[in-house]
Amino acid sequence: MASEQPQKIAILSVYDKTGLLDLAKGLVKQNIRLLASGGTSKLIREAGFPVEDVSAITKAPEMLAGRVKTLHPAVHAGILARDLASDEKDLAEQNIDKVDYVICNLYPFKDTVAKINVTIPEAVEEIDIGGVTLIRAAAKNHTRVTILSDPNDYHDFLQELEKGEVPEKSKQLYALKAFTHTADYDSAISDFFRKKYAGDGLQQLPLRYGTNPHQKPASAYMTDRPLPFKALNGSPGYVNLLDALNAWNLVKELSEALDFPAAASFKHVSPAGAAIGVPLSDVEKKVYMVEDIEGLESSGLAQAYARARGADRMSSFGDVIALSHEVDVATAKIIGKEVSDGVVAPGFQPEALEILSKKKGGKYLVLQMDKAYTPPAQESRTIFGVNLTQHRNDATITPHNTFNSIIVPKESAPLPESALRDMTVATIALKFTQSNSVCYALNGQVIGLGAGQQSRIHCTRLAGDKADNWWMRFHSRALNVKWRKGAKRADKSNAIDLLCSGIVQDSGPEREDWEKNFEEAPQPFTQEERKAWLSKMGEVAVSSDAFFPFTDNVYRVARSGVKYIAAPVGSQNDQACFETAEKLGITFVEQHVRLFHH
């Protein structure tokens, strides 16, 4: 006669006792032996259901005020044992029975630490040891043991038992939930102690607030290593770090791709300008308001930032700056003159740091970045409580590997180095620009960038209008304006922007306020004057983060002196775009990687 199957065993140890009695009733109905700890055992017994204390199998009492209840070989060997002859032998020798079901949830650590002014001893008391061990052991052995960590699963579990056995798929899902439960618990504990013990900013850096002042608390942290930057001066905000980390990525890649010092001016998680240290002409120095900077000629980094800041001074107002090399005095002197929120770089010369540390009444943000830091391949973010994860955008953009597929003209000569340089600048800038995005570049710098537009043509127009504005600033009328004595740099930038954009009002208060910036107000440009001057702009490179869906984009870039287009292909209108580019004398180069950034 076949031997009788041993009675199945369930161990119960729960803080949240929701649904516990209904569960106990269902388990007893299935002739399952109940072993429970502490308050769990007491509640089941008082309800009249048969239950034994865990000590019935451990032969050891609960101790240390209940902190040790289930931590015993009789419990964990019973849970971890597999259906192997060697395991059966070990259990028999120690007179230990297998455990088939574990029902456990944890002390309310999150609720405790959410209280105002909670102390470390109070938090420590809510760190569950035995419960986590029960859950982890049962989840590890989930091919044999069923682990329930969520009271919401009791009903379905009991229905499965009534049908005979818990399905393998259910065991897997219960185990996944259990692993998630302990991971979330451990994360809450580490977060609490990181805030308490890593207050030196090495791994946890408190921020003033999140995206907006009412979004508190906010912090920056890493779980496995110190932060890859340190604040040498000032205190970063949430948006500051979004800008700084994106901008640092940009200049690091740009400098590595072109072997020049690189700079970026970032605002609202997109570059307002980016450039490499191509030498500045005397006219460019004047346009970018740096003709009085001592040491400019010998500093490629200073020239890079002059270009990055000077391309779109309106957008760069209040920027976060990223610089690829150690910041020298010349670069610091330019920054010192501008309205800016902060700078990130791999190092700072002592005198340069002294200059920067005086800005904003001593509160100017100066971040030193670990140049050797490489982020992990996988990145994640949380939106509306939903975790998203993806492989980091580690696409490499280089002049000769990225832009070697010329589509039109079919018999085109090799691209000049200046075009390869400018397409590289534009494309790397797009990699860190909110999509949709289109970028115009010339002379190793961004001259117009359209970001975050839902329509590709609106990006192209926005970027093209900025490029046109940039070029109008080189007109003799813009170069030779007579400023009112004491006019501030920001006022000059606003006034010249209105002039070069062609939107100076004919009369009224706005016109009067504009004229106050000058000793002698310049005459606004006529449409004919603008058209004539813009026709002189040429050799511009444009890059798009995705394909051009319609020919209107090609026609628009042609109006701003574009000679080279780099873009992914894949639109049903590709051929029309190629033909239009060729007709307009534009070289169209396939850029093989879509570069959306969100």
Which of 8, 17, 25, 268 is flagged as catalytic? 268
Burial class (CB in 10 A: 0-12, 13-18, 19+), 593: middle
If you count them, how many residues does the chain have?
598
Which of 8, 17, 25, 140 is flagged as catalytic? 140
Phi, psi of 295 (to 5 degrees): 85, 5
Q: What span, in angstroms and rounded, lies between the C-alpha atoms of 27 and 142? A: 19
CA-wise closest residue to 486 among 519, 521, 513, 510: 519
CA-wise closest residue to 338 among 369, 363, 360: 360
Let me know if 333 is a catalytic residue.
no
Q: Is 483 helix (H, G, I), strand (E, B) or coil?
A: strand
Phi, psi of 451 (to 5 degrees): -130, 145
Q: What span, in angstroms and rounded, lies between the C-alpha atoms of 385 and 362? A: 38
Q: What span, in angstroms and rounded, lies between the C-alpha atoms of 196 and 188? A: 13
Tokens representing 291 are: 């003709």
Q: What span, in angstroms and rounded, lies between the C-alpha atoms of 157 and 112? A: 30
Q: What span, in angstroms and rounded, lies between the C-alpha atoms of 11 and 99? A: 7
| Helix (DSSP H) and strand (DSSP E) numbers for the chain | 25, 23
Q: What span, in angstroms and rounded, lies between the C-alpha atoms of 40 and 100? A: 18
CA-wise closest residue to 430 among 580, 575, 223, 246: 246
Residue 68 is given by DSSP the state: B
Three-class SS of 216-244: CCEEEECCCCCCCEEEEECCCCHHHHHHH
Phi, psi of 465 (to 5 degrees): -65, -40
Only one residue has tokens 């580690």, namely 394
Let me know if 488 is a catalytic residue.
no
For strands 518-520 and 482-483, give the pairing: antiparallel
Tokens representing 451 are: 């970001």
Residue 47 is given by DSSP the state: T
Which amino acids are annotated catalytic?
140, 268
